Structure 1
């Protein structure tokens, strides 16, 4: 291994340690209650070292949001590539979002915080721009799948693509978020309808509402 490669690996390793430590603290304490001092202490690094990699707490947090969006995007692509029709791809995109919520609760919480505050963020900051663009790329996948479904006949043709894509996105994000907030309540709600099945039933409902029965 060359010295240059060794140094590059050390830089990546330190950055990964910082991000992993920050991820745990942000998730357990929340963004507002987390400090760079605490992240540095738990990373076993000087506070100044953190600023060699991240310009601010916001920069570090949004690096994690972006990483979460990459994970979500990968889950979506794997799911939609496993089926053929536009309708099935849309349903699997919804399942991928639910999988993201279930398997990556930390990243999910970061993405939700970003989504809820997107409108008030400074759009001129590079990390915000990158995060916004990645979020829009994921949203655009949904639009393309709706168009495919209309074209291949699996989705009803009396559909406005822009309105439906916005509605599906808002529904999916909102239902998963509400489920997350009230999960304990739902667990004792109906013994014949297990809480974990609520989200799966939502996907089935979407299928019935979009399916072309002609």
Structure 2
């Protein structure tokens, strides 16, 4: 009887410490090694882009500082610009989630817009030097392993802005003759220009940046009050 109880208890014991990683739900040594290499590549690229400048940094220098082979870098990024956006894409999903969660269906249009943009400004404030490089390179960024992810994030933001406009129109706060998608795109364009101006200033402060953005958005919302054009 005692022997049977012992066998039953043993059957209920947790997996041994010597069990494989899959049994314990942990990444294996190979996976951990890949994650560590990617982390070192990102850190090396971030440091060199800021200290030496994007144009003067080479993929080989990044590989050397990260202590990985040149071919290993190309597993994660097709070129130097792609590597820059590999770093930039990190954390953007979290920012997008925070922006979407900040929208209040009962809030004024301007308040919702600023609530959406606040986490984005906070994200770019963390490393202004790197953010300036990203904004400079993003204009013609349409190919590479990281391009799809970056475009997806940008399109999601424009779609969210259109949704905020739709909510305001449904409440009767605004009247629009254009599609909400086009208005959302226009708002995004204003944000992009203001973001670049803000990052080019000597002092990068979220509140001052949002205050300037607020002025520009209010101008869009209320217009210039121009009289109707004469004639046809």
TM-score by length of 1: 0.73
Match of 1:200 among 175, 191, 210: 210
The one-character-per-residue Cα deviations of 1:22-76 (angstroms, maximum 9, x if unpaired) are 1222233333221112112211233333234444334322322332533542442
How many residues of Structure 1 are paired with residues of Structure 2 in the alignment?
Answer: 195
Unaligned runs of 5+ in 2: 1-19, 223-232
- After TM superposition, the structure 1 = structure 2 runs for residues 120-159 of structure 1, keeping only pairs within 5 Å, are 121-122=142-143, 125-153=144-172, 155-158=173-176
Structure 1 CA distance for aligned equivalents of residues 114 and 33 of structure 2: 42
Match of 1:210 among 177, 198, 221: 221
Alignment partner, residue 194 of structure 2: 175
Structure 2 CA distance for aligned equivalents of residues 179 and 104 of structure 1: 13
Structure 1 CA distance for aligned equivalents of residues 76 and 174 of structure 2: 49
Contact 2:77–2:146, Cα closer than 8 Å, also in 1: no
Contact 2:112–2:164, Cα closer than 8 Å, also in 1: yes
Could you say which structure has the higher helix fraction?
1
Unaligned runs of 5+ in 1: 188-194
Structure 1 pair 90–197 and aligned structure 2 pair: CA distance change class (3 A)? closer
Greater relative contact order: 1 or 2 (C-alpha under 8 angstroms, separation 6 or more)?
Answer: 1
- After TM superposition, the structure 1 = structure 2 runs for residues 1-214 of structure 1, keeping only pairs within 5 Å, are 2=21, 5-67=28-90, 69-80=92-103, 84-85=106-107, 87=109, 88-105=111-128, 108-118=131-141, 121-122=142-143, 125-153=144-172, 155-158=173-176, 160=178, 161-181=180-200, 183-184=201-202, 198-205=208-215, 206-207=217-218, 210=221
Q: RMSD of aligned C-alpha atoms?
A: 3.1
Deviation (angstroms), 1:86: 5.9
Task: Indicate the structure (1 or 2) with the bigger Cα radius of gyration.
Answer: 2
Structure 1 CA distance for aligned equivalents of residues 32 and 171 of structure 2: 47
Contact 1:66–1:131, Cα closer than 8 Å, also in 2: yes
Contact 1:75–1:100, Cα closer than 8 Å, also in 2: no
